[in-house]
Amino acid sequence: MRRARRIKSEMGRLVNVGRFVAVALLAVGCTMGGRHGASGPTPADDATTSTAILTLNCASTTVTSPFPPTAHDREVLGAVLLPLRYQPEQNVASNTPSGRWPYGVKVFLFIHQRARPVLATIPRSSQAAMGWGNAPPARTVRFKSCSNMGVGANGWTGALLLKSRTACVPITFQLGTRRKAVPFDIGRHC
């Protein structure tokens, strides 16, 4: 009987350690947190999504690459490189703890180092938000200009946060006065 309790106690500790490791890996895989260049937005339109602009500076980039990198297929406004429009449902992960955004898909984008700041906005009517670093989810993200880092492109890793496993997410990118709406088809073709 004592042995069974001891084993059960050990299993409970292992499960808690496993949960901690899973959350830590998720955080490392998707973040370039506040101390690494993300300025958290405030105030929030609810407890989990900000109406302010989240600003990411050059310290939050994860990689630099020649422009254009070959792994991306969509160029927007001559300065932003995005992944494929369609992201299969198997790329969608469950977020833990779920809260308002129970699903997410990792997004990696490049911005030319000579570009002016780029603004990315998801409409309020969409069932999605953007997650970058330790900052709260936001509908608008500003990527600062990184022209002092050389010639090429800077890469940022983040996530599209979703209310369901499939979604049609339009993101409008703005560079100066030019704008371009770009669709992301998550788990289904829109």
pLDDT per residue over 112-129, tens digit each? 888 899 999 999 888 899
In a domain, 18, yes or no: no
**Positive or negative: CA dihedral 161, 163, 167, 170:** negative
Pairing of strands 50-56, 138-143: parallel
Q: What is the pLDDT of residue 182?
A: 95
In a domain, 59, yes or no: yes
When divided into structural domains, the chain yields a total of 1
In a domain, 49, yes or no: yes
* Span 63-97, pLDDT tens digits: 877 776 666 578 899 899 898 899 888 788 887 65
Q: What is the pLDDT of residue 24?
A: 30
What distance in Å separates the CA atoms of residue 70 and residue 93, rounded to the nearest whole number? 25
Report yes or no: 133 and 82 within 8 Å, Cβ to Cβ.
no
What distance in Å separates the CA atoms of residue 182 and residue 68, rounded to the nearest whole number? 18
In a domain, 11, yes or no: no
Q: What is the pLDDT of residue 32?
A: 32
Contacts of 78 (CB under 8 A, 6+ apart): 112, 175
For residue 68, how far is the Cα from the chain centroid?
21
Least confident stretch, 1-5, 98-102, 135-139:
1-5
For residue 132, how far is the Cα from the chain centroid?
5
Q: How far is CA 67 from each of CA 15, 48, 182, rounded to the nearest angstrom? A: 44, 35, 20
Q: Which of 140, 190, 143 is nearest to 169 (CA)?
A: 190
In a domain, 13, yes or no: no
In a domain, 4, yes or no: no
In a domain, 171, yes or no: yes
* Span 14-70, pLDDT tens digits: 333 333 223 232 333 333 333 334 444 333 334 445 567 899 888 888 887 777 666
Q: Domain limits at 167? A: 31-186
Q: How many helices (H) and strands (E) does the chain have?
A: 1, 14
Contacts of 116 (CB under 8 A, 6+ apart): 145, 175, 176
In a domain, 9, yes or no: no
Q: What is the pLDDT of residue 28?
A: 30
Q: What is the pLDDT of residue 47?
A: 42
